Amino acid sequence: MEVKDGSIVYPLPDDTLLAEKEKKWRIKLPDAYKQFIKKYNGVTPTTGSFLCNNHSYAIDRFLCILKVTGERDDEFYDIGVVRTQLEERIVSDEDLVGTELLPIAVLFAGDFICLDYRNNDNEPFVCVWNHEESSDLDPVTYFTSESFEEFLTILTE
């Protein structure tokens, strides 16, 4: 994958921070995603387009994983911050403790790429979350790929 120079967000997350986030979100991040985020935290890809649901999408940037302190402008792109902003629009059960949809990339025009844990707690598939059609406790998603690893292979210029 080709990326825009200077777009990686530092510091890169380490295994300790990723384990903290997994515990907090009550999920297991896919190994391929962990390897990706440890190298490309918050990156803007130059090859970030893909087809889904007969529609062409473009990745604006991948979200990052940071220790949020409130002191950095790029914390706006932290997964936990975005997850909190989307709150009830990315869950279907208001009593849920944990994560159903984990946003990992922001798409042009406000949609997000998410890891979808609704059917499998350990092996999420990748989907597009549609911000216009989703409402509180009724997320609208479109299947994109069986895994994060597969998702990376469908990205084009």
At residue 132, the pLDDT reads 94
What gap in Å lies between CA 77 and CA 34, rounded to an integer? 17
What gap in Å lies between CA 8 and CA 86, rounded to an integer? 23
Q: Does domain 15-154 have CATH number 1.10.12?
A: no
At residue 1, the pLDDT reads 77
133, pLDDT greater than 80: yes
88, pLDDT greater than 90: no
77, pLDDT greater than 90: yes
Find all residues with CB under 8 Å of 71, minimum gap 6, and list them: none
At residue 93, the pLDDT reads 83
Pairing of strands 112-116, 101-107: antiparallel
What gap in Å lies between CA 104 and CA 60, rounded to an integer? 11
% of the chain with per-residue pLDDT over 70? 100
Contact (CB, 8 A) for 79 and 72: no
Q: Where are the domains of the chain?
A: 15-154
Average of per-residue pLDDT across 37-61: 94
Which helix (H) or strand (E) element contains residue 55? strand 55-62
Average pLDDT, the chain: 93
Q: How many Cα atoms occupy the beta-carbon half-sphere of 54 within 13 Å?
A: 0
pLDDT band at 55 (very low <50, low <70, confident <90, very high): very high
Model confidence pLDDT, tens digit, residues 93-126? 888 878 999 999 999 989 999 999 999 888 999 9
Report H helices in 9-143.
Answer: 15-25, 31-40, 79-86
72, pLDDT greater than 90: no
Average of per-residue pLDDT across 131-153: 95
- Asked if omega into 11 is within 30° of 0 (cis), the reply is yes
Model confidence pLDDT, tens digit, residues 9-37? 999 999 999 999 999 999 999 999 999 99
Average of per-residue pLDDT across 135-150: 95
Find all residues with CB under 8 Å of 29, minimum gap 6, and list them: 18, 21, 22, 37, 115
